[in-house]
Amino acid sequence: MKNIIEIIKPEYFDILGVVTFIFILFIGVWGLINKKKLPKWVNIIFIIIGLLGLLIDIFIVSNTLLK
């Protein structure tokens, strides 16, 4: 159990965050392109959250794991 805790670092969850924010960004863009049932403002908020989260997580990952 101790070995697993030593292997899993908080920075690895930022990698998962990158994937999650890419997904949120994709949903927002897809909704705007296809004009699905979500209101336009919801898709714009998805895009904003996706972009900001993606930029922050990429910055964290590049400064902690890729050094």
Residue 51, pLDDT > 80, answer yes
pLDDT band at residue 19, thresholds of 50, 70 and 90?
confident
pLDDT at 1 over 60: no
Task: DSSP letter for 1, please.
Answer: -
Q: What is the pLDDT of residue 67?
A: 66
pTM of the full predicted structure?
0.68
Q: In this predicted model, which residue has the larger pLDDT, 6 or 52?
A: 52
Number of domains in the chain: 1
Domain extent at residue 23? 2-64
